[in-house]
Amino acid sequence: MAGKPTTAAASADSSHPVPLRKTPTGIKGLDALTLGGIPAGRPTLLCGAAGCGKTLFSMTFLVNGVTKFGEPGVLISFEERSHDLETNVASLGYDVADFVERKQLVIDHVHIERSEIEESGEYDLEGLFVRLGHAIDSIGARRVVLDTIEALFSGLDNAAILRSELRRLFAWLKDKGVTAIITGERGDGQLTRYGIEEYVSDCVILLDNRVEDQVTTRRLRVVKYRGSSHGSNEYPFLIDEYGISVLPITSAELSHQISHQSVPTGVSGLDDMLGIRGYFRGSSVLISGLAGTGKSTFASAFVNAACERGERCLYFAFEESPAQIVRNMASVGLELGRHVDGGLLRFDAARPSLYGFEMHLARMNRDIEEFAPHVIVVDPISAFRGPSSEIHSTLIRLADICKSKGITALFTSLSSSDERMNESELSVSSLMDTWISLADVDANGERNRVLYLLKSRGMNHSKQLREYQLTDHGVHMVDAYVGPDGVLTGTARIAQEARERSADLSRKQATERIRREVARKRAAVDRQIAELRAALETEEMELATLIEQEEAREIAHGSERSDMARMRGVRS
């Protein structure tokens, strides 16, 4: 029929677009922001300045291909010798020599001397193609790395030849069907030295090693990705003894799964103040206060309670070493060392100045991914110094990571000595589901600790100011006491309670005295009533006797009158 599409055409019209085939790098954060990895069977350009990690990224890509996906790889280096490469990546735990021996990896160093290159119209890369093709075919490689592209063309100044050979190289790699990473040096005012590589690449990833306020932060950005959407922001990444960690994309939508389950705080009195007897699982909690108010103690009590339930806890410390925390908490009856030995508690301590905000975030995210905790503690966030916007950005991403995984996160913050909130509190307070404020109260020459809940979303909670004490058996909450002059704490509370007990005793004694007097008077009245009743009964008895006597006399008189009447009748 005219105008009616064929079956094949109709099927094509109704089908969904075919997604671009991708090759995972095995670097979880990078695969997340590229939505699956780099384009399969296509070249990807990895560019950046010296020291930003291009070679380590490339080697990780190859090693992960062997160990995680069973894909052999080839690395052609134009700068570093094979032995040097193997030594450099050994610090990450990569036994490259073993992979080479088992024919899972080929590493070839191609030395290029600029003085030996004569530029001519016949210059081409046929020799490299033969060498690279043999390496690929010898082990059936699916992944290829060329490090670095500038060394390959160091003797060429003709832009036309350079562009032509680059296109040939990229086309050749596509024809071989391998997923390739080509590293390139950062140029002046452009991504690469020649400014050509980024245009012929299907995917371009830019690495940056930035120094701000004497703190280095490595960042990654996907500049372009043909045929696929991707995260377009800058993302921090970390290179350390555990390898490479890229901070993943956080959700743009507020669509986290929520829980109605309560998580005990580890302090029974504090549980009583919260409407659900604890925090919501997966929520964010802020405990702020002055120095010495017990912020770390409350955090440790929470961790201890979680470990007692068999839950894994991750404690990020930025001011005290793990050994110091374990020792200090033992003085209040919290034996955290046994949970560390049992594998339920893990400490991760670092100085705040070791990395920038985002590098710390990348490190914490890596540890969260590895340890999979139910609870984390960040103690304290006030250790980070810098613009509130950066602190806010870092913490909101950490809170987002925790919420997406259902992790209950507790943050501590050192408050300022005045009543104004510091930068950390201003940055994070709006993100918190529960905010607990700890403070010192000066009275009668002593300082006492008090607690109050500023907010706790989704539940009814106590509005009272509560005193608490740090004892040998943990945190002890003291019932709120309101005296004539307001809330009293410490010895002022004890003295006022003593005065009120004395007044109460006096009132009780006065009441007892009056009660006894009333009882005495009642007894006297009862005696008088009994006496009156007895007198009344006596008089009633006398009255009854008189009445009986009067009745007897009346009867006797009647008999006498009857006798006299009868006698008169006889006489007459």
Mean pLDDT, to the nearest integer, of 89-106? 88
User: For the segment 181-218, what is each residue's pLDDT rounded down to a tens digit?
Assistant: 999 887 665 566 555 666 778 899 999 887 776 667 78
Asked if pLDDT for residue 60 goes beyond 90, the answer is yes
pLDDT score at 314: 97
pLDDT score at 493: 64
* DSSP 8-class letter at 155: T
Greatest mean pLDDT among 238-242, 261-265, 542-546 lies in 261-265
Boundaries of every domain in the chain? 19-246, 262-480
Distances (CA, A) of 122 to 115, 117, 125, 539: 17, 12, 10, 156
Mean pLDDT of the chain: 82
pLDDT, greater one: 500 or 236: 236
Asked if pLDDT for residue 2 goes beyond 60, the answer is no
Contact 226, 203 (CB under 8 A): yes
pLDDT, greater one: 342 or 240: 342
Asked if pLDDT for residue 279 goes beyond 90, the answer is yes
Greatest mean pLDDT among 12-16, 72-76, 511-515 lies in 72-76
CATH topology (fold) of 262-480? Rossmann fold (3.40.50)
> Which CATH code of 3.50.50.60, 3.40.50.300, 2.70.98.10, 1.10.1740.10 fits the domain covering 19-246?
3.40.50.300
Asked if pLDDT for residue 8 goes beyond 70, the answer is no
pLDDT score at 63: 93
Cα(221)–Cα(198) distance, integer angstroms: 13
pLDDT, greater one: 255 or 38: 38
pLDDT score at 425: 59
pLDDT score at 481: 63
pLDDT, greater one: 286 or 495: 286
* DSSP 8-class letter at 353: G
Asked if pLDDT for residue 114 goes beyond 60, the answer is no
Burial class (CB in 10 A: 0-12, 13-18, 19+), 130: exposed
pLDDT score at 14: 46
Asked if pLDDT for residue 486 goes beyond 70, the answer is no
User: For the segment 304-351, what is each residue's pLDDT rounded down to a tens digit?
Assistant: 999 999 999 999 999 899 999 999 999 999 999 999 999 999 999 988
Element (H, E) at 162: helix 159-176
Neighbours of 64 (CB within 10 A): 21
State the virtual CA torsion across 484, 489, 491, 494 in degrees, nearest 10. 60
Confidence of residue 113 (pLDDT cuts 50, 70, 90): low
Residues 6+ apart with CB under 8 A from 179: 23, 38, 39, 40, 41, 42, 44, 142, 143, 144
Please identify which residue in the block is written with the tokens 């530029």. Answer: 119
Cα(98)–Cα(84) distance, integer angstroms: 15
Mean pLDDT, to the nearest integer, of 88-99? 85
Cα(568)–Cα(560) distance, integer angstroms: 12
Asked if pLDDT for residue 555 goes beyond 60, the answer is yes
pLDDT score at 369: 87
Cα(424)–Cα(394) distance, integer angstroms: 11
Asked if pLDDT for residue 385 goes beyond 70, the answer is no
Asked if pLDDT for residue 503 goes beyond 80, the answer is no
Q: What is the CA radius of gyration of the chain?
A: 45
Asked if pLDDT for residue 288 goes beyond 60, the answer is yes
User: Same CATH topology for 19-246 and 262-480?
Assistant: yes
436, β-bridge pairs: 287, 453
DSSP letter string over 515-566?
HHHHHHHHHHHHHHHHHHHHHHHHHHHHHHHHHHHHHHHHHHHHHHHHHHHH
pLDDT, greater one: 14 or 269: 269
Mean pLDDT, to the nearest integer, of 12-27? 74
Asked if pLDDT for residue 445 goes beyond 60, the answer is yes
pLDDT > 90 fraction of the chain, expressed in percent and rounded: 32
Asked if pLDDT for residue 72 goes beyond 70, the answer is yes
pLDDT, greater one: 569 or 299: 299
Give start and end residues of each alpha helix (H) in 35-120: 54-69, 82-90, 96-101
